[in-house]
Amino acid sequence: MIPPELISMAFGNLSGFVFKFMAQRAKEKAEMLKMAMQTQKANEDAHNAAVKRVSVDGGKWVRRLIVISTLFGVIIAPFFLALLNEPLYVQITETKKSFLFGLFGGGTENYFVRVDGYLMIPEVRQTLTAIVGFYFGSSVVKSS
């Protein structure tokens, strides 16, 4: 039979180890939290320094330039180009038919077609609708 003093000493050692281990883990977690808070503070300081270095007005002028350029390409340029009668050449890629399971024929052929006036490509229209949507959306947010 094991003496009660030995059992008591074993449980005392085990409980001491467990509590010491838990205290050490809590200390490590506190150190990690402290380091995370320092990192967050450093990030916040860096962001604040960047805002002070580059003004927000610079971005406004870039956006305005993009909007003015797009509006010129969609609204103003078509009228001027129609008055100048300058031709525009567009590349068209045509796919040829193949026969005998693709062994003969096929491929593509590129040729150019003269277009009088102004060519309105879908990308320019999409950009214009995105700009209009952005400005209407931002004005709704400002008025609320």
Radius of gyration of the chain (CA): 36
pLDDT score of 20: 86
Burial of 42 (0-12, 13-18, 19+ CB in 10 A): exposed
Instruction: Dump pLDDT digits (tens) for 102-141.
Output: 677 778 889 999 887 777 778 777 877 887 777 777 655 5
**pLDDT over 60 at 142, yes or no:** no
Domain residue ranges of the chain, discontinuous segments joined by +: 1-53, 56-143
Residue 125 vs residues 5, 27, 62: alpha-carbon distances, Å:
89, 60, 20
What distance in Å separates the CA atoms of residue 136 and residue 74, rounded to the nearest whole number? Answer: 18
pTM above 0.85, yes or no: no
Give the residue from 79, 80, 54, 76 showing the smallest Cα distance to 67.
76
pLDDT score of 29: 94
Strand 87-95 to 108-116 pairing: antiparallel
Instruction: Dump pLDDT digits (tens) for 35-87.
Output: 999 999 998 988 888 777 766 666 778 778 888 887 887 777 777 777 777 77
